[in-house]
Chains A and B, each alone.
Chain A
């Protein structure tokens, strides 16, 4: 359509009747937008999660070493953790905005915090659950403190730590969807966009379904890791 002297308005292609009428599920929308919307969002989501869990794991481990070695420090770290966990993620993301700006850093800081809380708790519990008698036997056999830790306490705490890793990963995948409220990355972004576009059902179901699938796959993968690393644990009632 050309208006004299005006711009050329190309035909952008009309949406299918399913898209225009907001049907329950429009498969053609999914095929068309896999490359430009869904796949990038999925990749971003995985990136966000992996970075947060990796950093959270390392920091939690260091904190757990401190809390385990110096028992007096554990209750304060514990109480602060419990309190921080009740802060709604929506609020934490926004509170960090003035400090670190609208960037992935803000999101990562918040995600790492939540991961940290879950992992710290699990690591300390796991280490504490090692029976004192076994530790005594190890020391008695001549193991140094460090040897006792690396060869006895840590392996025995591993099942609990891995269980915590599972919970933390699934939890992070879930919280990362809310992150799109402040930074348009990850699978939450298509969901927010779709809510605004007169609640576009297909996009919500597709992106939402992908998050759930991602969480279930991650959980299953970590179960395999659990079994590989700690084959001696029987899996009847997982935590």
Chain B
């Protein structure tokens, strides 16, 4: 309990440090998530539309879950040396499975009748995907993006071991910042994760075609 109070005092005493570190953390997480979205989203959506590659999607999901974050970070620095790419690549690899898998299943699960109707109206395949399947797939899709975002933000702390900076640099440095610092930085990470989830739910609501019925 004492440490908790000390942590808040730490935040009050070191706003600049925490701000800088949070900025670094966001930079790393954002870059990784962005690249992962660019790579996994189109692939997952299109495969789901074609209803092809179930085995691939399921396997990527299983293998992805089995990839330990520390190992990815260690592989990253072994292969790329210290810099921007070693941690970014590791985090991208971590973020792709939930996005790809959820994108696939989200589109795959759209009611076939609705899709047929759209085709019947003369839409091209791409139009069907973007105007019909995607809006209906949004909830499951965003669930996957949310999982990926939380994974990336949490794992970016481990990246500090490999020169990644960010809030992890405080967390691995208990000798310098004390328990108060470790707890403070950890609270910031949790806050970032919640914030990301919140922003994503706003984006999803904004992108949804109709207001969701009140349960």
Interface positions of A (Cβ within 8 A of B): 83, 86-92, 94-95, 97-98, 167, 170-171, 173-175, 177-178, 181, 188, 191, 194-195, 199, 201, 204-205, 208, 211-212, 215-216, 219, 236-238
Contact = CB atoms under 8 A, between A and B. Distances in A.
Nearest to B108: A237
Contacts of B63: 216
Contacts of A170: 65-66
Interface in B60-102: 62-63, 65-71, 74-75, 77-78
B162 interface: yes
Contacts of A211: 68, 71
Contact of A178 (B70, B150, B190): B70
Given A201-B78, A204-B78, A237-B58, A90 B158 contact: yes
Contacts of B70: 174, 177-178, 188, 191
Given A199-B77, A208-B74, A237-B54, A174 B189 contact: no
Given A95-B182, A237-B54, A238-B58, A173 B68 contact: yes
Contact of B78 (A177, A199, A236): A199
Contacts, number: 108
Given A86-B190, A191-B70, A95 B183 contact: yes
Taking chain B's interface residues, is the majority helix, strand, or loop, or is none over half, making it mixed? helix
A215 B65 CA distance: 9
Contacts of B65: 167, 170-171, 215, 219
Interface of B: 3, 54, 58, 62-63, 65-71, 74-75, 77-78, 105, 150, 153-154, 157-158, 161-162, 168, 171-172, 174, 179, 182-183, 185-186, 189-190, 193-194
Contacts of A174: 66-71
A208 B72 CA distance: 8
Contacts of A208: 68, 71, 74-75
B182 A86 contact: no
A88 B66 contact: no
Contacts of A201: 78
Nearest to A179: B70
13 contacts: A83-B190, A88-B168, A88-B189, A90-B157, A90-B158, A95-B183, A173-B68, A174-B68, A174-B69, A195-B77, A199-B77, A212-B67, A237-B54
A189 to B, nearest CB: 11
A193 B175 CA distance: 19
A82 to B, nearest CB: 9
A110 B3 CA distance: 17
A212 B69 CA distance: 10
A195 B161 contact: yes
Contacts of B3: 95, 98
A195 B162 contact: yes
A199 B161 CA distance: 12
Given A95-B3, A191-B70, A204-B75, A90 B62 contact: no
A87 B78 contact: no
A26 B168 CA distance: 32
Contact of A94 (B68, B158, B174): B174
Given A170-B65, A188-B70, A86 B58 contact: no
Contacts of A173: 66, 68
B182 A94 contact: yes
Contacts of B168: 88, 90
Contacts of A177: 68, 70-71
Contacts of A171: 65
A138 to B, nearest CB: 27
Greatest chain A CB density within 10 A among B68, B77, B171, B189 is at B68
Nearest to B192: A86
A88 B158 contact: yes
Residue of B65, B66, B75, B105 with most chain A CB atoms under a 10 A cut-off: B66
Nearest to B109: A237
B66 A216 contact: yes
Contacts of A98: 3, 179
B77 A237 contact: no
